[in-house]
Amino acid sequence: MFGLAKGTTLVNDKWFSQIEAVSLVSALLLALATPSLINEWLIDKPLEKMRCFCSKVKQGDYRERLALPNESRDRDDEDAITLLMRDMNWMARQIELREQELKQAVETVRKSRQHIEKQNQSLAETNAELMVIQGRLNERTTELENAFQKMQVMALTDPLTTIANRRCFFDTLEQQFAALVCSCRPISLVMIDVDRFKTINDTFGHEAGDKVLRELAGIIQKYSRENDLVARIGGEEFTVLLPGAGSREAVVVAHRIKTAVSSRIFELGDEQRISITVSIGICTLSKTPCFARNNLYNYADQALYHSKNNGRNSISVFDPIIRSVVKVS
């Protein structure tokens, strides 16, 4: 405008000169202010946005993004501030994804821990139940063991006299033979039978006869040796097995029993009293050729019947060497 006014009368107008001066000053001020305005619009405002964005990220808010134009194909066309803001948006997205993954992992761990706690509780309850069951099984096992032991005792015990029965006698005889054969030690057998026992049953009844048998078992046990086996092998017949005893020692034991029985008065009740006698047969094996279980029993049985057939209330001994029976008392 001022250039067009040159050469015209406006140049000489004082108002025109003042306007020209004001315009020049305004242009100069504008030129001076433009960099500051550009700096504020292009740098300060984006920086403020980025500062607010970072503050929210710092507080854990990753959902908000910096407002940006659509990404151009050629990233080189964008200024550094825009590129930086895009990178910050990308980092916020990555942090958000990582945080989601971390939360999922934490939730998975929490659920796993809850599951493990439930499993542990279930295992603890199951273990407690098993302990109770184990306790019951132990009690039952103890009961069964006690019952088995009682059955074993019953199987080897005569129910009337509570001494060893026939089975226990022959089992022990077999065991003693095995041990004595190895050590070449003698073994003796004393067989005892009540004289005229049928008369006692017929006269006083079977209960009286049973009482006599019980008392007789006690007498035989009392006057036998500590390690001898006293057994009732049937009816009114008893045996005493004497491991390691020779013939003389067996005769001594038999004589003690015979004397004790003949001197005892048996109380049958209702002021009924009787005395009884016993016949006794003995056999001792001490040499290997004669060591046979059946021989010992058969020889002692022959000696017993020798006593019964020769006056009763006596003791007879079978000599396995000469195979004959001798009455000794």
Sorted by where each begins, the domain ranges of the chain are: 2-58, 166-327
Quick one: pLDDT at residue 71? 55
**Nearest CA among 222, 206, 200 for reference residue 274:** 200
Q: Is the pLDDT of residue 32 over 60?
A: no
Q: Is the pLDDT of residue 306 over 60?
A: yes
225 pLDDT band, cuts 50/70/90, is very high
**Nearest CA among 239, 272, 247, 261 for reference residue 314:** 261
The residue that leads in pLDDT, 69 or 48, is 48
The residue that leads in pLDDT, 313 or 42, is 313
Question: Is 236 designated active site?
Answer: yes
| pLDDT tens digit sequence for 190-215 | 999 999 999 999 999 999 999 999 99
List helix spans (H) across 263-319: 293-308
| pLDDT tens digit sequence for 135-194 | 999 999 999 999 998 888 889 999 999 999 999 999 999 888 877 767 778 999 999 999
Which of 129, 143, 236, 271 is catalytic? The answer is: 236
Quick one: pLDDT at residue 2? 46
Quick one: pLDDT at residue 10? 47
By the 10 Å C-beta count (0-12 exposed, 13-18 middle, 19+ buried), 96 is classed as middle
In sequence order, what are the beta bridge partners of 269? 272
**Its pTM surpasses 0.85:** no
What average pLDDT is seen over the chain?
Answer: 84
Enumerate helices (H) and strands (E) in the chain, giving the number of each.
Answer: 9, 8
Helix 197-204 to helix 206-223 angle (10° resolution) is 140
Quick one: pLDDT at residue 172? 93
By the 10 Å C-beta count (0-12 exposed, 13-18 middle, 19+ buried), 14 is classed as exposed
5 pLDDT band, cuts 50/70/90, is very low
| CATH homologous superfamily of 166-327 | Reverse transcriptase/Diguanylate cyclase domain (3.30.70.270)
278 pLDDT band, cuts 50/70/90, is very high
